[in-house]
A = this chain, B = another copy of it.
Amino acid sequence: MEQVAVETTRQTEWVEITAKVQGLVSAGAITEGLCTVYVPHTTAGVTINENADPTVVSDFLNQINKVIPFDDSYRHGEGNAAAHIKSVLTGPSVSIPIADGRLQLGRWQGIFFCEYDGPRSRRALVQITA
């Protein structure tokens, strides 16, 4: 198992980690298999979406922050209940096929660490299986 470190700088923010994950795949011995990216945090997630136009990410963040408001009738005492909810809706893991030693991402796809309660020092775990 490998790790990718992520430093986030805003309360809600997606940080692209595609190159780091592909680097771990390239450094390993498995050329056909599965790459799972896992986030060991409860107020962050991981997803895959367009990495070409940054407004795709900002539109997602604006909309999810509207659907799941920062403040509502939450009972959780730390003030970050909304971040936990966004974390669940985003999901804690994604699995991407590997073929010929490459992540089989689509042309417009990037892997994003999804911060919902930053800024913080974070990490994503990467497990490559055959």
B-facing mask of A20-59, CB < 8 A → 1, else 0? 0000000000001110101111100001111001011011
Q: Interface centre among A42, A85, A90, by most B CB within 10 Å?
A: A42
Chain B nearest CB, measured from A109 CB (Å): 6
Assess the A127–B1 pair: CB atoms within 8 A: no
* Interface of chain A: mostly helix, strand, loop or mixed: mixed
A33-B92 contact given A1-B104, A81-B55, A84-B59, CB 8 Å threshold: no
Assess the A38–B96 pair: CB atoms within 8 A: yes
A108 to B118, CA, bound (A): 16
A50-B92 contact given A40-B106, A109-B42, CB 8 Å threshold: no
Assess the A97–B81 pair: CB atoms within 8 A: no
Chain B neighbourhood of A56, CB < 8 A: 42, 76, 81, 84
Assess the A59–B75 pair: CB atoms within 8 A: yes
Q: Interface centre among A62, A72, A90, A106, by most B CB within 10 Å?
A: A106
A104 to B92, CA, bound (A): 12
